[in-house]
Structures are given as C-alpha cells and as structure tokens.
Amino acid sequence: MSEHHNPSRADVYARITAEIIAAIEKGVGGENAPWRAPWHHDGSAAFRPSNIVSGKHYRGVNVLALWAASEARGYATGQWGTYRQFAERGAQVRKGERASLVVFWKTSGADPSEDGASDDGERAEGKRRFFARGYSVFNVAQVDGYEPEAQVMLDETERHTRADAFIAALGVRIETGGDEAFYRPSTDTVHLPCFNRFRDAASFYGVAVHEIGHASGAKHRLDRDLTGRFGSRSYAAEEACVELAAGFVLADLGIAHHPRPDHAAYISSWLDALKDDPRAVFTAASKAQAIADWMHAWQSAQGKEPAI
C-alpha cells in the first residue's frame, strides 16, 4: 500500500473539492432535518484534526477535507497519520481501508510526513515556488494496534472564560442590544444581541466569532473585499470564509459550532462557485485560516496590532 498517491495538481484540486461538495450537499437539511455542513461540530477536542507524530493541527483546506471525510465515514476522533507513520509505531492500517487526501504545499526537499500540516494556497515567496502535493492519510479508526492519545478538554466554565478572554483580546469594538448580529464597516463595530437572547453560550460565541471574522476583513486588518451584496457570489464567498474561520476557531476553543439557519441561504451560490472552479474551496479555506491566524495572533499581542 503506497503512503502517497502523488496525483497531479489538477487532480488534487478536483478530488478534494468533490469530496467537500459531496459532504456539503449531504448536509443540506430538508424539511425535517436541520442544515449543517462539515465545519459544524460539537467542540470536542477529539475531533480537531491533528497528526499522530507531531500533534500539530492540520490547517486550511486540510481541516475541511478531513472533517468532510470524518462526516462521510463516521470517524469519531481527529487523529490522522500516513501509512508509514502508523507502521513505524507498530500499527497496521487495515486491508481495504480507504485513505483520505490532504495537501502539502512544499518546495523541493520538504518532507510532509514530518507533521502532515499544510499551508493553504499556491504562492511564491521571494524566488521560492511552493507547489501542491497530495498525500494519503488514515484515521486512527482505520488502524489496528494503535492506542490514540487521550484528548482532554477543559470544563465548560473554563472554556467559556477562555472564549471571553479570546474575544476581548481581538481589539474589535462590540456593541450589544437589538435583535440582529452584524458588522458595520462604516463604524468598524460588531453589533450583537444581548447574551440572554441566544439559545445557549455556544450560539453566542459562534455568532460573535463570525461577526468579528467579518471585521477582520477591514482595510486596516486583512483587507478583503466586503462590498458584496446578498445573493452575489462575492457575498457568498465572504460568508463561507467567515463561517469556516469560525469553525476553526471554535474547535480550537473547544466550543460547539452550531449551524445557523440564515447561513443556509448562501450555500447554493457557494456550491455553484465550487463546481465551476475547483480552486475556490482552497481559496476560501486559505482566507479562513488567515482569519483564524489573525485572531490567534492577537492573543499574545498585548493590545498592539499583531504582526502576521
């Protein structure tokens, strides 16, 4: 069994995009089923995709790809490794198990088996050119003879306290009151209903992180195009980026990311974009990872704009 497929770059885009589209389409609820997508989760630390060797979390489109694979195949934990990584630890991937594809952006000489983590977009830095390679990984549920490490979570009160501090450190002005949640670019303010208007704490944190995600796109922050109107592809793309980022960050904080019915409205438009351009989901995941990185960078910035 080969530890990596080494498919063409176009095949990498197409295969990962197809699996993510399938997971999203499966998750679109009907009359009696709520809408959900692969980036919605219960906040369990066990479900945050990480590599068995380094313990590092996967990033960007790889998070989304592995969440989609877990949703499709019913994996309950987020620990992954290559065939070789399991074999070197005396474990055996069971015969007939299907691998999941992840992407490693590399220069010549880089070894993706070191941690399985990924940067998230094709780019050039100086004279170095990064290019995509596809690698196969397996979930611990597909392996015999490997004992997963226990995933420990803080208790709920500690997680909520941590989330409050995380949001407070982001340096975005928040005004509470009213019935709607939104980011207003003209005043650079996030507006949220009062805490007691939400059905539970996770819903509050999900909405807060989502709206601050929009604020991250301001000119003086990450400088994304925030001019899209409801129903447009640019609007759908921004919503998708921010929802993915919220999924990443809430997973880091150990807080559930619940579906929001109002966000189902942009999925149809975004799915059309994904089907037209296999790179679109890579772009969205890259921007989502940039939002998450920006939020995490603030945590040690001590009140100053982080350099990221």
Please name the residues in contact with 117: beta carbons below 8 A apart, sequence gap of 6 or more.
51, 54, 56, 57, 58, 59, 62
When comparing pLDDT for 238 and 263, which is higher? 238
Phi-psi category of 178—alpha, beta or left, where left has phi over 0 and alpha has psi -120 to 50?
left
Report the pLDDT value the prediction gives residue 3, as an integer from 0 to 100: 46
Q: What confidence category does residue 107 fall into, taking pLDDT thresholds of 50, 70 and 90?
A: low
Q: What confidence category does residue 16 fall into, taking pLDDT thresholds of 50, 70 and 90?
A: very high
Per-residue pLDDT reduced to its tens digit, 248-288: 999 999 999 988 877 777 888 888 889 999 889 999 999 99
pLDDT cut 70: percent of the chain above it: 83
- Chain length of the chain: 308
Q: What confidence category does residue 34 fall into, taking pLDDT thresholds of 50, 70 and 90?
A: low
Q: Is the pLDDT of residue 303 over 60?
A: no
C-beta neighbour count of 169 within 10 angstroms: 18
Report the pLDDT value the prediction gives residue 122, as an integer from 0 to 100: 45
* Residue 224 DSSP code: -
Q: Which residue has 């080494």 as its token pair?
A: 6
The CA distance from 258 to 83, in Å, is 33
Q: Is the pLDDT of residue 305 over 90?
A: no
Report the pLDDT value the prediction gives residue 304, as an integer from 0 to 100: 59
Per-residue pLDDT reduced to its tens digit, 115-130: 444 444 444 444 456 6
* Mean pLDDT, rounded, for 211-232: 92
Please enumerate, as own/partner, the contacts of 83-88 that have beta carbons within 8 Å and a separation of 24 or more.
83/1, 83/2, 83/3, 83/136, 83/138, 84/3, 84/113, 85/51, 85/52, 85/53, 85/113, 85/116, 86/52, 86/138, 86/143, 86/146
Whether this prediction's pTM lies above 0.85 is answered by: yes
